[in-house]
Amino acid sequence: MPDSQEHLKNDPLWFKDAIIYEVPVRAFADSNCDGIGDFQGLTEKLDYVKDLGITAIWILPFFPSPLRDDGYDIGDYKNVNHIYGDLDDFQEFLDGAHERGIRVIIELVVNHTSDQHPWFKRARKAPKGSKERDFYVWSDTPEKYPEVRIIFQDFENSNWAWDPVAKAYYWHRFYSHQPDLNYENPAVWEAVFDVADFWFSKGVDGMRLDAVPYLCVKEGTNCENLPETHAFLKQLRAYIDAKYPNRMLLAEANQWPEDAANYYGNGDECHMNFHFPLMPRLFMSLRMEDSFPIADILNQTPLIPDNCQWALFLRNHDELTLEMVSDEDRDYMYRVYAQDTQARLNLGIRRRLSTLLGNDRGQVELLSSLLLSLPGTPVIYYGDEIGMGDNIYLGDRNGVRTPMQWSGDRNAGFSRANPQKLYAPVIVDPEYHYEAINVEAQQGNTNSLLWWTKRLIATRQRFQAFGRGTFELLHPDNHKVLAFTRTYNGEHILVVANLSRFVQTVELDLSAFAGMVPVEIFGRSQFRKSPMGFTFSASVPTLSIGLCCNSSKQWLKCCNPNDRNRN
């Protein structure tokens, strides 16, 4: 085990209790005034991350790259892009995180490389049928695999691109400058294991497997979720388990629940996978004031192996994807969340959490509370903890990747560079201007969203049931209320979310908890029993979580009234 890992708890299931924070290195903090965030800047901000309650940082690709897809177009897997620093800076960041008990998750982008990667440059020139050429997927016609969808619909009209050097078409699921690797070639497997070795032996704790459903291709299929892809993942997992303790693989498999759950295998593929279908349904339920979309998708979600965990998220560095919803639901989402067509991109919406929710603090709190209480591990997107805005005029997904807002100073305290030199302009929208929305201002006000988020995270961390507990939906008659319980080691948590703008009353069948008295988690007040069982009046003015009698957001824990120590 690398020295730097000594500071971490020896627990292979650490990811179940984690709070993950997603950060593009470029956007967080610029240490050398060149207008671009870097590793030294990120390391300097680790205390902030720790103070927020984060236990794992997921950093976006930082490798040498032409940056035509923000680094998801990799030119060298075993180095650091010089604009972010060097390998020593990376190690310092990793050690600094570990010293603070924070784990680090990096990206393993191995569906494709940049067309500038030496493997591709070599492949184009290599003879047909050679091992070098076959690092990628070639064809004489662009007609092969016609069943396969196009992901970047606004930019590409085919998954094949002509290469004049190779005099053949090559396969790409994303941008045409990102040729897909060929998983039929054992040399590719070896190369990928080698990359995993490089970073795991430095001490990284986890890897997000970018675009993992598309690794293998096969005639007559849609080339997604193929058994061959799962076979590769099982090998990768076995390889890593044998060499590195307490590491985690996080799949990015944007698929329907059934297919997504397959990335856990029998507990022998990925440890985690993002719950893509749940994400848009959280937004739908909120706007429809109806628990059905959330309840329905959770009911469709298979049980997963004990050693696995869903990664839950509200927003990330991409557009809010609407691939895993019906056409009708997509229309609805566009109508209610992206009236302005400029906010739409590919099959999704390029907005941040606060802007999607019209800057409504109550709604932000409600969705964040669900993020932290539904079954899974929450992934928070940098800046959403202070309610940062976005800029839909920046092109592609750049509008949700703007500099972190640290203070009201020049460049939002992100960089001392000439403002014109910044890799992207800071947010100056009147409603979300960095002079008002920034860390420093919010640190100074305990009513701020930042403080609220800190308290929410701290509260979650007091109860392991959120990360590890069972999940049981309750079925109240009032569908404007979502209610569920989480149980772990005899500890019961009841979560009640009022999805409506208006006060709701709801009756919950808590007969399973007979003899117990609910104690509200944040304020620790006990609820009284009525002759009918527990009849709660939820009287919250806006959208909130908990059995609400005022404007505070609440989670409830049921415990034995005689047991005073249990809250």
State how far the Cα of 399 lies from the Cα of 433, in Å rounded to an integer.
14
Site for Ca ion contains 422 (CB under 5 A): no
Shortest separation between residue 290's beta carbon and ligand GLC, angstroms: 30
Toward ligand GLC, which CB reaches closer, 38 or 318? 318
Q: Which does 210 bind (CB under 5 to 8 A by kind): Ca ion, ligand GLC, none?
A: ligand GLC
Toward Ca ion, which CB reaches closer, 92 or 259? 92
State how far the Cα of 282 lies from the Cα of 308, in Å rounded to an integer.
22
Q: Secondary structure of 413-461 in the HEC alphabet?
A: HCCCCCHHHCCCCCCCCCCCCCCCCCHHHHHCCCCCHHHHHHHHHHHHH
Toward ligand GLC, which CB reaches closer, 211 or 215? 211
Q: What angle do CA 138, 78, 230 make, to 5 degrees?
A: 50
Which of 444, 445, 383 has the alpha carbon at shortest distance from 414? 383
Which of 464, 460, 472 has the alpha carbon at shortest distance from 303? 472
Question: What b/e string do you get for 43-52 counting C-beta neighbours within 10 Å, with b at 16 or more?
Answer: bebbebbbeb
State how far the Cα of 252 lies from the Cα of 274, in Å rounded to an integer.
6
Site for Ca ion contains 210 (CB under 5 A): no
Contact 559, 496 (CB under 8 A): no
State how far the Cα of 156 lies from the Cα of 44, in Å rounded to an integer.
39
Q: Which of 17, 38, 210, 390: binder of ligand GLC (CB under 6 A)?
A: 210
Site for ligand GLC contains 156 (CB under 6 A): no
Toward ligand GLC, which CB reaches closer, 210 or 385? 210
Toward ligand GLC, which CB reaches closer, 27 or 286? 27
Toward Ca ion, which CB reaches closer, 277 or 403? 403
Shortest separation between residue 255's beta carbon and ligand GLC, angstroms: 12
β-pair partners for 303: none
Site for ligand GLC contains 382 (CB under 6 A): no
- Using N-to-C axis directions, what is the helix angle for 278-288 and 361-373, rounded to 10°? 140
Site for Ca ion contains 36 (CB under 5 A): yes
Shortest separation between residue 360's beta carbon and ligand GLC, angstroms: 27
Q: Which of 318, 365, 390, 520: binder of ligand GLC (CB under 6 A)?
A: 318
Site for ligand GLC contains 211 (CB under 6 A): yes
> Active-site residue numbers?
210, 252
Shortest separation between residue 348's beta carbon and ligand GLC, angstroms: 11
Site for Ca ion contains 40 (CB under 5 A): no
Q: Which of 17, 38, 69, 365: binder of ligand GLC (CB under 6 A)?
A: 69
β-pair partners for 249: 207
Shortest separation between residue 486's beta carbon and ligand GLC, angstroms: 29
State how far the Cα of 167 lies from the Cα of 163, in Å rounded to an integer.
6
Separation of CA 461 from chain center: 19
Shortest separation between residue 69's beta carbon and ligand GLC, angstroms: 5
Given the rule CB under 6 A, which residues bind ligand GLC? 69, 72, 109, 174, 210-211, 252, 317-318
Given the rule CB under 5 A, which residues bind Ca ion? 30, 32, 34, 36, 38
